[in-house]
Structure 1
Amino acid sequence: MSSFTFQDTIPVREGEEVNIERLEEFLRKTIDDFPDEPLQMNQFPSGHSNLTYEVKAGDWEGVLRRPPLGPVAPKAHDMEREYQVLKALHPSFPLAPRPYVFSDDHGIIGSPFFVMERRRGVVIDTDLPESLKSTPEAGKMLSSVMVKTLAELHSLDYKDTPLMQMTKPDGFMQRQVQGWIKRYERAKTHEVPGENELKKQLVEKIPETKEASVIHYDFKFNNAMFDAADPSKIIGLFDWEMATVGDPLADLGVTLSYWIESGDPELLQKGFGKPPVTVQPGFYTRRDVVEQYAKETGRDVENIDFYLTFAYFKLAVIAQQIYYRFKKGQTNDQRFSKFHQTTAALIQHADYISRKGIM
């Protein structure tokens, strides 16, 4: 993966095509004023999970999301839920793209899917855009705006939105810990040293959730889009598949788990590909992120080590689920052939954070 704008698409990868004729027929019936021009489709190349496509006809354009090919883990890749989350959030949090339409008719493209609005800007992943490479304060500026945006999301009043009916904040962390342990057991292919003690520690040390908020739960640089003319502004947040109402510190923990530092173990840095932009000089450390978040929100971050430990474990489970699909022949994507090593590295690092902490 590399830095890209949302104009950067590729032809649809072999084996990941959809029936464009049926899709076009569906969109003409469901989207008002759909142009009388043929539908065209390309694919966004990044990501290891859901498949995302650019769809356009004339001046109209949108983004289609569907689950990965083959069997998927229970409750994972729920397109209808992500669509409903966006529908609930967009009016009060415009960084969440406007959703257009959802369909669970497998006869259209072979799976449930939804279509949302397309945003155009700069997505920063593993490198800075050329326009910022000569700016000494770029890393600090981008880091700060990310933390402020996360704090803004956590300040939303969800009680007046449909999210109240879609989520269960009470007992959130207990369900999360138990649920992700079960996911790991279902996808397990290898014994990893330290995994049993780590799971035991997670179950025994669950902190009390002091307040609930809207959480993205996958908040990281390559899920944010910056204004190309003014990169101090975020103009879009994507991949709301895991969003819910829960413990905001769990969301912060997830962000920290993606916030790789240059001194981290190599397998941690490169487990999902090229290291993210946060390894470059000038970007916040994880400690910096925690300190600014505490100032922005006034929240007590005393237990952040637990949340980061759990976030690393979650990442390990995600890597293992992807590797399980590869090992079972459900995907032939060679990017996933060594993800069991990523799983082991993440579990070992989670164990390290559990014992040593970051604060």
Structure 2
Amino acid sequence: MVQNYKDTIQVRKGEELSKEKLKHFLQKTLLETANHELEIEQFGAGHSNLTYLLKMGDWEAVLRRPPHGPVAAKAHDMKREYTFLKYIHSVYNTAPKPLIYSDDESVVGSPFFIMERRKGIILDTQFPDHLSYRPELGKQISKLMVNKLVELHQIDYKQTGLIQLAKPEGFMERQVNGWIKRYERAKTDEIKEVEKLIHYLLKHIPNSTEATVIHYDYKLNNAMFTEDFTQMTGLFDWEMSTIGDPLADVAVAMSYWIQENDNDLLKFGLGKPPVTIMDGFFTRNKFIEEYASNSGRDVSTIDYYITFAYFKLAVIGQQIYYRYKNGQTNDPRFAKLNILVKNMMRQALQSANQYN
């Protein structure tokens, strides 16, 4: 049984929802007889979509909507994320069940969807105070992260509705060219490493030989665990999920997976490092080896994918910083994201130089 601890914050200023409009919507669609007061809190983590906890009496659910202001083309597509969850939940129940999608912007100011509320432990930069850490726990969590990724990649998407969203041919070529264009559209500062990095990425695109379901934002703080860390009770943020190269998914996971002996550029590039730096957690190499062993996949080209993953992470930061610099959001957390972008571009280039 998971001990109850606070995983939400008061709704940030400027990101409030109308209780009256939302309660009316809920009574019309999901909770016809609900007479309790609607309570709204916000999940404070994350820099992309806005995520809220809704409570009416004993009923709880989670609402997802895009960030305020103009957003990058094809980003923050609520209908697509809802649809992906609808199909993936039926074959991978670690994904939360989506309840309803709405494109009625009069309710919360944008399209949105509501999904079930999952409960458990989410790990980020530290363990909850009521838990004591031991190295065996780090190994156990690492193994579980590998196994749940392998399980996801084993799903036969062709037997699900996900086949409607699949365009597996030429996946990496589209990804590399697409993310380069995203960077160019959101560019603000001159970063000298970028030109050389882009040249490397375009020149060495691997031929994807397999397509699977990929989460594409698979990281520790998107996962939820039982208190004894024997099970993953939830996996969230399916915004980028698609059908594509499984090694691209592994690489994205590794771009977030920091280890104790990393250089400061990588270790503190996203702020305080995650708990994966603690004794007992897998190194990236150990994670990749375990994935290869459990999945039977050839990971000999993983280095390119990791370089691209760092670049992709930098571009995501750049898109958010572009919105901040252009006054489309005033969230103070975004004020120094340009430093993150430079750090991740340098890390990507270091990765490319290391293996080139």
The two structures have a TM-score, normalised by structure 1, of: 0.95
Report if the CA contact (8 A) 2:127-2:133 is conserved: no
2:264 match: 266
Indicate the larger mover: 18-27 or 294-303.
Answer: 18-27
2:196 is the counterpart of 1:197: yes
1:14 match: 13
Report if the CA contact (8 A) 1:79-1:112 is conserved: yes
Mapping of residues 217-296 of structure 1, within 5 Å: 217-228=216-227, 230-296=228-294
1:19 partner amino acid? S
2:90 match: 91
Report if the CA contact (8 A) 1:6-1:120 is conserved: no
Q: Alpha-carbon deviations, 1:211-263, whole Å to 9, x = none?
A: 110000000000000012x2121011000000000000000000000001222
- Rounded to whole Å, the distance in 1 between the matches of 2:33 and 2:343 is 48
Tell me: CA distance 1:134–1:254, structure 2 relative to 1, closer, same or farther (3 Å): closer
1:157 match: 156
2:165 match: 166
Q: How many Å apart are 1:5 and its aligned residue? A: 7.0
Q: How many Å apart are 1:32 and its aligned residue? A: 5.0
2:65 match: 66
Mapping of residues 135-150 of structure 1, within 5 Å: 135-150=134-149
Report if the CA contact (8 A) 1:271-1:339 is conserved: no
- Rounded to whole Å, the distance in 2 between the matches of 1:269 and 1:298 is 30
Tell me: CA distance 1:282–1:34, structure 2 relative to 1, closer, same or farther (3 Å): farther
**Equivalent of residue 297 in structure 1, options 295, 298, 305:** 295
- Rounded to whole Å, the distance in 1 between the matches of 2:255 and 2:33 is 41
Tell me: CA distance 1:34–1:222, structure 2 relative to 1, closer, same or farther (3 Å): farther
1:47 match: 46
- Rounded to whole Å, the distance in 1 between the matches of 2:19 and 2:31 is 19
- Rounded to whole Å, the distance in 2 between the matches of 1:134 and 1:200 is 44
- Rounded to whole Å, the distance in 1 between the matches of 2:119 and 2:158 is 31
Tell me: CA distance 1:32–1:17, structure 2 relative to 1, closer, same or farther (3 Å): closer
1:208 partner amino acid? N
- Rounded to whole Å, the distance in 2 between the matches of 1:96 and 1:240 is 9
Q: How many Å apart are 1:267 and its aligned residue? A: 3.5
Indicate the larger mover: 230-239 or 214-223.
Answer: 230-239
> Runs of 5+ in structure 1 lacking a partner?
none
Tell me: CA distance 1:34–1:322, structure 2 relative to 1, closer, same or farther (3 Å): farther
Tell me: CA distance 1:39–1:131, structure 2 relative to 1, closer, same or farther (3 Å): closer
2:314 match: 316
Tell me: CA distance 1:192–1:183, structure 2 relative to 1, closer, same or farther (3 Å): same
Q: How many Å apart are 1:6 and its aligned residue? A: 7.1
Report if the CA contact (8 A) 1:125-1:277 is conserved: yes
- Rounded to whole Å, the distance in 2 between the matches of 1:178 and 1:234 is 34
Aligned residues: 354
Report if the CA contact (8 A) 2:135-2:278 is conserved: no
- Rounded to whole Å, the distance in 2 between the matches of 1:170 and 1:208 is 10
Secondary structure (helix, strand or coil) at the match of 1:198 reads helix
Secondary structure (helix, strand or coil) at the match of 1:123 reads coil
2:209 match: 210
Q: How many Å apart are 1:270 and its aligned residue? A: 2.4
Q: % of aligned pairs identical?
A: 55
Q: How many Å apart are 1:130 and its aligned residue? A: 4.0
> Runs of 5+ in structure 2 lacking a partner?
none
Mapping of residues 325-340 of structure 1, within 5 Å: 325-340=323-338
CA-based RMSD:
1.6
1:47 partner amino acid? G
1:80 partner amino acid? K
- Rounded to whole Å, the distance in 1 between the matches of 2:312 and 2:94 is 25
- Rounded to whole Å, the distance in 2 between the matches of 1:5 and 1:248 is 35
